[in-house]
Amino acid sequence: MRPYSMSAQIKQFLKRIALLALSVLSAAMMLPAYAQFQTANKKIIIDTDPGTDDALAILLAVNSPELDIRAITIVAGNVTADLGLENALNVMSLAGRCEVPIARGAAHPLFQKLNTEEFWNGKNGLGGAELPPSGCDASSQFGPDLIIEMVRRYPHEITLVPIGPLTNIALAISKDPSIIPLVKEVVLMGGSITGGNVNAASEFNIHSDPEAASIVFNAGWPITMVGLDVTEHTLITNADVARLEAAAGPEARFAAAVARFQIGTYQGTGFGGGAVHDALAVGAVIDRSLLKTQDMRVDIETDGKFTRGETVGNRGNAVDRIVPRGDRLETVGVDAVQPNVQVAMGVDSSRFIELLVSRLRGK
């Protein structure tokens, strides 16, 4: 074979240099996209009152790679703040996630007495399911202060996921309103525009602290309300629990025991399974397509004898314009009102239950 001429060797060398440069440039262009993919996990703070369905929500979150739990804060609600803290520490220890800060927050609502829910959650708050003592330590911070710190550390990145009464969230933004525009969004379990579960009008989390809910709903940040309108249509069944038990590690066994309790408490109430309310809010953060939402103006009733704690949704986002006319009032038109909440009105229940079971099965 004829040897390369000097000119051919130079051309070949330059070609290799060009290919190398192109390769380096391509890698450099891909790195930011890869880094973005690696860090695309949604940073969340779970504010919770564990609670049976809260425990399932926490386990779903820790077993979902889409989520990056930056903190768990405890509020009194289903159980006292002390018992809620103990339960959260035990659940996170079971999941091997002691690196997540867990902080005790408000021990009572802003202006009313605490009403705990042993009937719906069992004496220990976990449906009687037992957990080994926690290897996790609680944070020394007050829950609302931890929320403020994390939002300031990760501006525009934190999604707040309150799945209990809204006392901690209200305290945080009352203490430091400047965090409101720094929060990415709020996805909460609470409320209903079609009736309550504490009484005819009010859902438990909102009913537990209506004044706190009013502060949160009127803060001016993006809110998605995952209420009874969808959670009561999202039921875990004995067949689903059997799937958990068929391939059960410690987390799945605990989740199955909690779910069995949930199913039992709903027997005789017209439900065909156990409502796992709080877990659906976490599911909505993982996959928003699970929900169908409608923008509405939602106000919190704080005065009504029969409706205190009701989330009053304005489906048309409009009110009559009423003016005085002598000894009477007259409607002269209609005024638009600004929506403040995305209200979940529909849910792909079977897809969510499949997500929940598949994420916990075998754990």
Active site residues: 277
Q: Which of 94, 27, 17 is nearest to 55 (CA)?
A: 94
CA distances from 120 to 10, 77, 255, 276 (A): 81, 12, 16, 12
Query: Which DSSP category does 197 fall into?
Result: S
Phi-psi region of 362 (alpha: psi -120 to 50; beta: other; left: phi over 0): left
For residues 159 and 222, give the distance between their C-alpha atoms in angstroms, rounded to a whole number: 10
Instruction: Please state the φ and ψ torsions of residue 121, each to the nearest 5 degrees.
Output: -130, -5
Q: At what angle do helices 238-246 and 349-360 cross, to 10 degrees?
A: 20
**Prior bond to 51 cis, omega within 30?**
yes
121 contacts: CB under 8 Å, gap ≥ 6 = 51, 52, 78, 79, 127
Scanning the structure block, which residue is given the tokens 């209420």?
Answer: 227
Secondary structure letter of residue 284 according to DSSP: H
Cβ neighbours around 267 below 10 Å, total? 11
Query: 57 vs 40, 61, 102, 233, CA distance in Å?
Result: 21, 6, 15, 17
312: which strand partners?
Answer: 299
| CB 131 within 8 Å of CB 94 | yes
